[in-house]
Amino acid sequence: MTATTLPAAGDAAHGHGHHYTTLGLDNRKIAIWTFIGSECMLFASLISTYLVYKGRSIKGPFPHEPWTDPVSGKAFPAILDIPVTSASTFVLLMSSFAMVLALAAVQNKNLPKVTLGEKILGSSKLWLWMTCLMGTAFLGFQAFEFTAFIREGLSIRTNLFGSSFFTLTGFHGAHVAVGVCWLFSLLAIDYKRGLQPSDATNVDIAALYWHFVDVIWIVIFTLVYLIK
Amino acid sequence: MATLVAAPPYTSTATESANTGLWSWLTTVDHKRIGVLYLITALVFFVIGGLEAFLIRAQLAVPNGQVLSADMYNQLFTMHGTTMVFLAIMPLSAAFFNFLIPLQIGARDVAFPRLNAFSYWVYLLGGIFITVPIFFSVAPDGGWFGYAPLSTKQFSPQINMDFWVLGLQILGISSLAAAFNFITTIINMRAPGMHLMRMPIFTWMSFVVQFLVALAFPVITIALVFLQFDRFFGTNFYAIGAGADPLLWQHLFWVFGHPEVYILILPAFGLVSEVLPTFSRKPLFGYPVMVYSGILIGFLGFGVWAHHMFSVGMGPIADAVFSLTTMLIAIPTGVKIFNWLATMWDGQLRFTVAMKFGVALVGMFTIGGISGVMHSSPPADLQQTDTYFIVAHFHYVLFGGSMFGLFAGLYYYFPKITGRFMSESLGNWHFWLSLIGMNLTFFPMHFSGLLGMPRRTYQYDAGQGIEVFNMLSTIGTLVLMLGTLFGLINLWKSWKSGERASSNPWGAPTIEWTIPSPPPEHNFDELPKITSRYPLWDLKGTVIAKETTYAEEAGRVQLSAKQLGIPMPNPSIMPLITAAGVIFMFSGMLFTDSNMKLAVGIMIAGAVWWIAGLYNWLLTPLEDAH
């Protein structure tokens, strides 16, 4: 893995691969890890606020238990729809798999591809499309979820649960949206001039971001949806 | 690894850029020029913040002062704190990060030169965004800490706090971008042989600070997002009626706010750790311990936040834990003080103005540090909190500590930045008036505070025994302003016509002093090879490296980066354009109450603007093909 992800000194005709660096790694790689570290604190703040406010809403609707409005007498079911969100979680997890294949395809662009399997695995366009589409599908699930909640009577203003839930998952959704735009930009470059192994670092940092957003979702899904 | 380390020969066709004129400054990506921009901008904000402080002191000079209205007083103390923390001290530190870090580690520039320019422009425009309202009497008025629910729409219905919330979000972008940039620079741009434990101590302290920024700023970002949502969209994060925790803001704010204290002081510690060895002709005493104590201060800084909240009633266990961690942090800080003393001990001391400011930091910071240990004890803190005793404490730390350290750094590095010395005679006026003025202003506050004078009240009654102390503080402010005036005159005159400096005018030991003053655009003609912590000194502190005078430099044929084959980053206007789009987008939120359509329109236009700028930036290579 290292042989392909490290920019080898001297062989890159363009790009930044040949500048001297202390670790021999590309600067962009270190910057994205620093950024991810910082993002951890961002989501830590959001998630801890959600947990601190869990069960503190003075009125419903609530995430896991039904509630009847004492004033209007209207009954609200438990808001969260775990089967639907499990499906969207599966889609997002699979998108990370496609992302790994997209990166590998870019890194191995110059290897000869003979069999059909090699051609499929080696198509960076295919796997970038797959990642983008699955990311977009996740966003579609989220849009569906949000509109359903609002229809059922939970908005960002309704109670503490609504405020902290929509802000936390909305922030995550915004991160996914940024990731989708980023990947579509890479796809546009791939169609325009073809992504080469020398572009691997650019795909690599997008992939790191994408996996990070994915990992954060696993934490959110567990803490918000699965634990009652 | 070895094959990767070997740097191939440069074969550059980099075009040479124009180096003068306004356009060259707007498009610059040179870390040294950006450092100078930070320096000048931060000093302007420092003067604005100082004038705000003067108006506060004028109001408090006598009992029941009538200089300001209560509303204006609130705006002034809020903006004084916000300006000094976010627009003066942090960017003054950033000026030194920018100018010094690449020079100290032997790099051509920072890792991401255009991102660096972007950080500066966001800071400048964000600073203007948050400062301008004071001239129209609509400045933020909820304190620099913006405690919610006080800062929510319910209690601050006007536009004032909107400027604060949005302004701080904008400034956070600048600090975070800079943190990612400098962490990458320090990890990955060190010259061969510049091991971590050979790094100059200023770069080390900056390294710690960048981690604090990267990990602390996201927390206030989220706290501000909650406040923004509460104010603009009616969410419930700080709505007590909906069951919200009234302490949520305080916890989030101080999880950021306490590391912020170390963000403000550690760069000054680093600068003084450069100044004291040079003017004592002795290596820094206990270099590894200085590094470790800096890291420890940064680490512990995340575990002490609730000592700002002893009076809210968190209970004995939380109070005891945060009291202990706070006392613990005094240990690495004390270690630093003793190491500075040991550095000077038996050295050949030269009391230049830089050295005087450095020594003054050691003394003044110790006073502020000790009063800090006093209120780490909850029972003592309950007496002192929200009184002028606290004001005295943190001004000794921030003025006597941070500002004195930054002034020491300014006098010390000015010859490297400009190729000229600052005047020692004007500098002496600057130093002595600042030292006297500072003590005259802030020392009496210990007494007025212990006598019970509360912070942030715009009037006090006569007959409580605090009139004399308040009058002394106000007189001290005048002395301080006079001292600062001398400093600014010195800066101006020395920049124009100061005495010419050689490459290493102070006989300093680190590699930034091997290159000409001011340094050429590409910094080092060839990649330096580092073999020791103090490459320019022998074991006895004698300078062994050759020093070139200004006349020699002027007489020598200077090879340009192009002739040397060093590829240089191209200037770009995109960082400025992108930054302006970001500010424009944020300013749209100001209209959410009055005109939602206009607000959304501006935000979308701003987003399109900066995204277009960003794509142009990312799709344009940093350097010409080579």
**Predicted confidence band at A16 (pLDDT cuts at 50, 70, 90)?**
very low
Tell if the CB–CB gap between B8 and A9 is shorter than 8 Å: yes
Tell if the CB–CB gap between B236 and A157 is shorter than 8 Å: yes
Q: Give tens-digit pLDDT for B411-428.
A: 999 999 999 999 999 999
Q: Give tens-digit pLDDT for B515-569.
A: 998 999 999 988 899 999 999 998 777 888 777 787 777 777 777 887 788 888 9
**Which residues does A123 contact at the CB level (< 8 Å), separation at least 6?**
A105
The CA distance from A114 to the nearest CA of chain B, in Å, is: 32
**For the residues B245-267, what does the mean pLDDT come to?**
96
List chain A residues with CB under 8 Å of B192: 20
CA distance B150 to B140: 12
pTM for this entry: 0.93
- DSSP-derived letter for residue B420 is B
Cross-chain CB nearest to B187 (options A30, A56, A156):
A30
**For the residues B497-526, what does the mean pLDDT come to?**
92
CA distance B385 to B310: 9
Q: What is A22-226's CATH number?
A: 1.20.120.80
Query: CA geometry: angle at A124 spanning A119 and A126, to 5°?
Result: 80
Q: Give tens-digit pLDDT for B198-241.
A: 999 999 999 999 999 999 999 999 999 999 999 999 999 999 99
Which contiguous run of DSSP H or E holds residue A127? helix A124-152
Q: Give tens-digit pLDDT for B433-461.
A: 999 999 999 999 999 999 999 999 999 99
Q: Give tens-digit pLDDT for A149-161.
A: 999 999 999 999 9
* Neighbour count for residue B291 (Cβ, 10 Å): 20
Q: Across chain A, what does the average pLDDT equal?
A: 90
Q: Which two tokens stand for residue A5?
A: 């992800």
Cross-chain CB nearest to B4 (options A9, A159, A162):
A9
Query: CA geometry: angle at B88 spanning B29 and B162, to 5°?
Result: 95
Query: What values do phi and psi take at B420, rounded to 5?
Result: -130, 150
Considering only alpha carbons, which residue of chain A is nearest residue B195?
A: A22
- CB distance B276 to B270 below 8 Å: no
**pLDDT attached to residue A18:** 55
- Nearest Cα neighbor of A175 from A108, A123, A220 is A220
The CA distance from A176 to the nearest CA of chain B, in Å, is: 17
Cis peptide before B149 (omega within 30 of 0): yes
Active site residues of B: 80, 109, 144, 174-175, 258, 260, 262, 273, 307-308, 333, 336, 455
Tell if the CB–CB gap between A37 and B244 is shorter than 8 Å: no
CATH 1.20.210.10 holds for B24-54+67-199+520-626 = yes
- DSSP-derived letter for residue B247 is T
Q: Any alpha helices (H) in B246-315, and if so which ranges?
A: 248-280, 287-300
Residue with more model confidence, B92 or A16: B92
Is residue B6 over pLDDT 60? no
Q: Give tens-digit pLDDT for A47-58.
A: 999 999 999 999
Q: Which two tokens stand for residue B16?
A: 């040479």
**pLDDT attached to residue B626:** 58
Which contiguous run of DSSP H or E holds residue B225? helix B201-233
Site of tokens 């934490």: A219
List chain B residues with CB under 8 Å of A162: 235-236
Q: Give tens-digit pLDDT for B98-113.
A: 999 999 999 999 999 9
Tell if the CB–CB gap between A49 and B252 is shorter than 8 Å: yes
Q: Which two tokens stand for residue A226?
A: 């699965």
Q: Across chain B, what does the average pLDDT equal?
A: 93
**pLDDT attached to residue B540:** 76
**Predicted confidence band at B623 (pLDDT cuts at 50, 70, 90)?**
confident
The CA distance from B261 to the nearest CA of chain A, in Å, is: 18
Tell if the CB–CB gap between A163 and B248 is shorter than 8 Å: no
**Which residues does A147 contact at the CB level (< 8 Å), separation at least 6?**
none
Tell if the CB–CB gap between B218 and A45 is shorter than 8 Å: yes
The CA distance from A38 to the nearest CA of chain B, in Å, is: 5
**Predicted confidence band at A168 (pLDDT cuts at 50, 70, 90)?**
very high
Sorted by where each begins, the domain ranges of chain A are 22-226
**pLDDT attached to residue B546:** 76
Q: Give tens-digit pLDDT for B289-347.
A: 999 999 999 999 999 999 999 999 999 999 999 999 999 999 999 999 999 999 999 99
Sorted by where each begins, the domain ranges of chain B are 24-54+67-199+520-626
Cis peptide before A61 (omega within 30 of 0): yes
In DSSP terms, B387 is beta-bridged to B454
